[in-house]
Chain A
Amino acid sequence: GAGVSQSPSNKVTEKGKDVELRCDPISGHTALYWYRQSLGQGLEFLIYFQGNSAPDKSGLPSDRFSAERTGGSVSTLTIQRTQQEDSAVYLCASSPIQNYNSPLHFGNGTRLTVT
């Protein structure tokens, strides 16, 4: 497909379990962003990648959250020991270059529910 692909689209997990969320950016896009959208809230920045490196991890809520990107393409966001407050939609976006005038292209998100 031509767009940003995220999987799974929905994930239900028990409190305390680990989860991995995957993002496939648009081919050739070097910049990749993760955001979190809680019910009725705006977009909360988590982390961004330029290539495989993450210059800005300031948005990660706690050390239970981590992310990596390999081959300048696929990214995985991992949440360890999930808590109920982690329930949200996790959105991934990519852009052709790390340039603040380049619009972000978003995926459909992963809806995470922690029971």
Chain B
Amino acid sequence: AQKVTQAQTEISVVEKEDVTLDCVYETRDTTYYLFWYKQPPSGELVFLIRRNSFDEQNEISGRYSWNFQKSTSSFNFTITASQVVDSAVYFCALSTGNQFYFGTGTSLTVIP
């Protein structure tokens, strides 16, 4: 069975702090993709990053970075020097075959 777990339901940080959002996944497939999406208060989910199961190289994009570790089935997301605009719900997702499996999301609040 495929499953994505985001154990952190809500996180609050003060602006400029770093914050890491955890994502743990389960799958028996050897080929799969992992995604992160951001859902700001406006409601529309915005695609942030995609990573395939054969590429464990970490990625950095500006203040965002992602750490993919197959050994622990984790795909964690770190925001450095957080800003108020980062306040949103963040979803991790796993894709295998024809399906996308989403976690329950982590609500991040950045306090000015």
- State the A residues within 8 Å of B (CB): 3, 33, 35, 41-43, 45, 48, 50, 55-56, 89, 91, 93, 98, 100-101, 103-109
Contacts and interface: CB of A to CB of B under 8 A. Distances in A.
A100 B97 CA distance: 6
B95 A101 contact: yes
B102 interface: yes
Nearest to B105: A42
Contacts of B44: 3, 106-109
A101 B47 contact: no
B100 A98 contact: no
Contacts of B50: 101, 103
Interface string B18-43: 00000000000000110101000011
Contact of B47 (A33, A91, A103, A109): A103
Contacts of A109: 43-44
Given A42-B104, A105-B47, A98 B98 contact: yes
A100 B96 contact: yes
Interface of B: 32-33, 35, 37, 42-47, 50, 52, 91, 95-105
A35 B39 CA distance: 14
Contacts of B102: 35, 42-43
Contact of B91 (A43, A48, A107): A43
Contacts of B99: 45, 48, 56, 100
B55 to A, nearest CB: 11
Contacts of A91: 45
A42 to B, nearest CB: 4
23 contacts: A33-B100, A35-B102, A41-B104, A42-B91, A42-B102, A42-B103, A43-B102, A45-B99, A48-B98, A56-B98, A89-B43, A93-B45, A100-B32, A100-B33, A100-B95, A100-B96, A101-B33, A103-B47, A106-B37, A106-B44, A106-B45, A108-B43, A108-B44
